[in-house]
Amino acid sequence: MILTVTLNAALDITYRVPRFEPSASHRVSEVTERPGGKGLNVARVLAALGHRSVVTGFAGGPTGDLLRRLLAGSPGGERLEDALTPISGETRRTVGVADTRNGGTTQFNEPGPVVTRTEWDTFCETFRARLGEATAVALCGSLPPGLPVGSYATLVRAAQSAGVPVLLDTSGEPLRRGIAARPDLVKPNTDELTGLTGFTEPVQAAREARRRGARAVAASLGAEGMLVATADGGWRAAPPRRIRGNATGAGDSAVAGLLSALAEGQAWPQRLARAVALSAATVLAPAAGEFDRSAYEDLLPRIDVRACASPVV
Amino acid sequence: MILTVTLNAALDITYRVPRFEPSASHRVSEVTERPGGKGLNVARVLAALGHRSVVTGFAGGPTGDLLRRLLAGSPGGERLEDALTPISGETRRTVGVADTRNGGTTQFNEPGPVVTRTEWDTFCETFRARLGEATAVALCGSLPPGLPVGSYATLVRAAQSAGVPVLLDTSGEPLRRGIAARPDLVKPNTDELTGLTGFTEPVQAAREARRRGARAVAASLGAEGMLVATADGGWRAAPPRRIRGNATGAGDSAVAGLLSALAEGQAWPQRLARAVALSAATVLAPAAGEFDRSAYEDLLPRIDVRACASPVV
């Protein structure tokens, strides 16, 4: 089982409008809703890949109820165990407005509920209790208001004590603080990596992130694939062709790829190939945040993985 | 008691963002939620004015539950009786995004749930049952998918049979069909009136709307106030000064003004003055769709009402 943590889960709402115009009134032609927040996206991709996953984090209010109902009804939902901690606040929504004319998406993200100290303590009990069965842990996304900035560092240390490999995918100060607790893997994109280290060149930035505490760094390079820097060496992986589409959720699919392959005992090059193939298949899927299974199966054997010539460690 | 009908009720969500940009991602700095849909807005203003109101229409799903909870907690909520018909579909949301920098608001309106024939029949039973206690009826807003375009005409005829004065505030084909059933009053804005009659000049357009079946026409003229054309003559009313602000809900406040004054036995000039004062006090209120009570009390005696010199009937 892979333990996923989504501290700021969301109901992701997508609106399609025929022609987006600021300060105008729009009739929405299509509404879709799905459970969101990075850790939940990871859990849904894991379930689609046949892996069991326990979903932890917070859910509250009518939006939280709806999120839980949609989660249970997800494809592969029987492999998702809902262990979300109930809270008195209300789960946030995100609204993405897709302009069907020019393909652009305008995104609005609510800040999320205030999580109390007691609710955080209850969550931590659940988290520690479930660590015993976990083959890996994914800590994903932003922190809701009210939680200390060092919350991910606390969870990284708990996973380390239990001897469970832990991946951290967040940004800003929670990433800076979390990385110092020595997670097994961080998965920043280039912007997050630059924000953390000050370096724009990915190899240099990944090396600096390892120096700050990450045991391994998997840096997503957008259309160019992924770079991984570990104690055993570095690899780069790239798709066989340039992939165009909606990149929403591509990073979460990469996390699911890395962790599912780790759980299956695969080596770094295979983990990386799976992450890049899943990420590309997510960009190619018609619905934001889903992945196209046949594209994934087609791409997986064609991902170009090579050891880095220059030292990345 | 005033019977209000909101066939396409909504949860109105307002987001504040510091700087609105198409195709960008925004962190929402403030979220507010309130029960919406024109008839519900009318009911809330009636309650604030001390009038009892029975709220009918449809509510379903988690959004419908939240709407009912917020309705019960509205100021004056003890004067609002929730008689909404439960449906299997989900109540729609509207999302308004207010740019705190330039003051513009971008609006997204979901289409609403599909209402089945059985749900419509249940609603009609409730509507007919409550007509007996009503001093007036307000039929407000758009129709949800699934309802026949002549639904308002059916309700107008039911109110007429029960001898209860009925106001219709809608647009497009539902207005065209509803007006032919001879409602006591319609309250179009200038665009709706032009859409209905083809005339851009309000006096001429109001006369044409009466010819098509409306016993009286109260045309809202935006910042210039309101024009009313009745069998007993015509009046115009205007605020003492130009009012600037957010016009959201101003038309619904005008409807509440017209109906509350009618229920109190007041004559046309007094009804019109109240409608224009409430409408202006809504534009002046800081929160969209609320009215500023002290502005209302200050403006009411200063509304300029005069009989029309030219024949409007």
Residues 6+ apart with CB under 8 A from A92: A8, A9, A10, A11, A63, A109, A110, A111, A112, A113, A144
Q: Is residue B167 part of a domain?
A: yes
Q: Is residue B312 part of a domain?
A: no
Catalytic amino acids of A? 252
CATH code assigned at A197? 3.40.1190.20
Q: Which residues partner with A36 through β-bridges?
A: A10
- The secondary element (H helix, E strand) that includes residue B307 is strand B304-307
Residues 6+ apart with CB under 8 A from B305: B235, B236, B237, B269, B272, B273
Count of structural domains within chain B: 1
Q: Is residue A313 part of a domain?
A: no
A33 pLDDT more than 90: yes
| Predicted pLDDT at A278 | 98
Q: Which of B14, B16, B23, B107 to mutate to test the interface with A (most CBs of A within 10 A)?
A: B23
Whole-number percent of chain A with pLDDT over 90: 89
Yes or no, beta carbons of B105 and A23 under 8 Å apart? yes
Q: What is the pLDDT of residues A224-281, one digit of tens each?
A: 999 999 999 999 999 999 998 888 899 999 999 999 999 999 999 999 999 999 999 9
Yes or no, beta carbons of A22 and B66 under 8 Å apart? no
Q: Is residue B158 part of a domain?
A: yes
Q: Is residue B313 part of a domain?
A: no
Question: Is B17's Cβ below 8 Å from some Cβ in A?
Answer: yes
SS3 content of chain A, % helix, strand, coil (to 5): 40, 25, 35
Q: Is residue B195 part of a domain?
A: yes
B313 pLDDT more than 60: no
Q: What is the pLDDT of residues A81-134, one digit of tens each?
A: 999 999 999 999 999 999 988 878 899 999 999 999 999 999 999 999 999 999
Q: Is residue A312 part of a domain?
A: no
Nearest CA in chain B to A27: B109
Of B23, B31, B105, the CB nearest to A106: B23
Give B270 to chain A, closest Cα distance, Å. Answer: 33
| Predicted pLDDT at B311 | 61
Q: ipTM for the complex?
A: 0.84
Count of H-run helices and E-run strands, chain B:
10, 16
Q: Is residue B120 part of a domain?
A: yes
Of A17, A63, A65, the CB nearest to B108: A17
Alpha helices of B80-133 — where are they, by DSSP H?
A: 117-131
Mean pLDDT of the B86-114 span: 93
Which residues form the domain of B290?
Answer: 2-307
